[in-house]
Amino acid sequence: MNMHKNVFKESNTSVKKAVKYLERSKLVALKTETVYGLACDPSNIEAINKLYELKKRPAFNPLIIHVNSLDLAKKISFVNRKAEEIMKKFWPGPLTLVLPRKKNSFVHDFAVSGLETIAIRFPNSEIINKIISAFKRPIAAPSANTSGYISSTDAHHVIECFGNKVDLVINSGRSNYGIESTILDLTGPTPIIQRLGVIDSSLLKERLGVEILESHLKDNKRPNSPGQCLKHYSPKTPLKVNVNSPKIGDAFLNFGNDNSITHDPSLNLSKSSNLNEAAYNLFDFLRKLDKLKKKRIVVAPIPYIGIGKTINERLERASI
């Protein structure tokens, strides 16, 4: 962790420092409740270019823009009554909304890949919200990892990925959920889930009382929304899902308390079969097993319930 020259703990001083960095077109890694984000000023083309270059992110993959109030969301998007209701129910929190974009100097075309729509989130994370308040503008913050690799859920994952190429890292400990936000597209007649995330579809349906479509289906050969390339979240080691009996030479990612499986090396996402705990550990454990450079990482079956659906979707995409 100390290998990086510019790592600071969360504090009022680090908030001020982050704002200065953002104003000078620099990149700041910070914790959100989902995963760590790599923040930049979305109005600044130099900063946007740096961000895409560092992440090796394809230019067609738009950034999620973070706000800390409904008012700020309304400055960069058209918010109708239905969207406002959803914001009031789920924000701050792990739900990103895709809305028609209002063009102005807050967000450069290049930050949203030239789209007429914009993905916005009000995170439940003190550090990022304080920075947005002090910066007085929205900030872009995609996940702080090289495009396609496992997301970062901890400051040291960010440093492993980028070293000193990330200008500033604010270390606020581990992300609370460990998995990305759910993306809900509100630009059509029926809300569509474009990416599974922390909030699962049944909870959305129940709390919103409306029909919701799901477009993240894994057998779709084409990406369903910009940037949703099928292969993603991937370790360098080949990964296989739904494996009950690991073979010699495998690194095993277990789930639940099945004592009949004794394998070395192995990690257990949740001995008590708790899916939230499994989500919290998922990316950290994948990184740990990837470092062992075994022939394969094999993963025990995970139930397709609630956040378990999201865990399975991430693992399936990691295994392509």
SS3 109: helix
- Give, in order, the Cα–Cα distances in Å from 269 to each of 24, 35, 180, 263, 307: 40, 17, 17, 14, 13
- Per partner kind, with CB cut-offs from 5 to 8 A, the member of ligand AMP, Mg ion, none near residue 235 is none
Kindly state whether residue 64 participates in binding ligand AMP, applying the rule CB under 6 A. Answer: yes
When binding is defined by CB under 6 A, the residue of 6, 25, 69, 226 that contacts ligand AMP is 226
Tokens of 49: 């270019």
Kindly state whether residue 225 participates in binding Mg ion, applying the rule CB under 5 A. Answer: no
Kindly state whether residue 98 participates in binding ligand AMP, applying the rule CB under 6 A. Answer: yes
When binding is defined by CB under 6 A, the residue of 25, 49, 75, 115 that contacts ligand AMP is 115
Stretch that binds ligand AMP, among 161-169, 209-217, 225-233, 309-317 (CB under 6 A): 225-233
Establish how many alpha carbons lie within 13 A of residue 230's alpha carbon, considering only the half-sphere containing its beta carbon: 9
Shortest spacing between CB 112 and ligand AMP, in angstroms? 5
Kindly state whether residue 32 participates in binding Mg ion, applying the rule CB under 5 A. Answer: no
Q: How many CB atoms are closer than 10 A to CB 53?
A: 11
User: Quick one: CA torsion of 109, 112, 116, 119, rounded to 10 degrees?
Assistant: -140
> What is the Cα–Cα distance from 174 to 157, expressed in whole angstroms?
10
Residue 122: what residue type? Answer: F
Stretch that binds ligand AMP, among 61-69, 78-86, 205-213, 284-292 (CB under 6 A): 61-69
Chain residues 109-148 in contact with Mg ion, contact rule CB under 5 A: 143
Q: What is the side-by-side order of every strand in the sheet holding 250-254? A: 239-240, 296-299, 250-254, 266-268
Shortest spacing between CB 281 and ligand AMP, in angstroms? 19
* Residue placing its CB nearer to Mg ion in the complex, 25 or 147: 147
- Interface residues with ligand AMP (CB under 6 A) are 61-62, 64, 98, 112, 115, 117-119, 142-143, 180, 183, 194, 225-228
- Interface residues with Mg ion (CB under 5 A) are 143
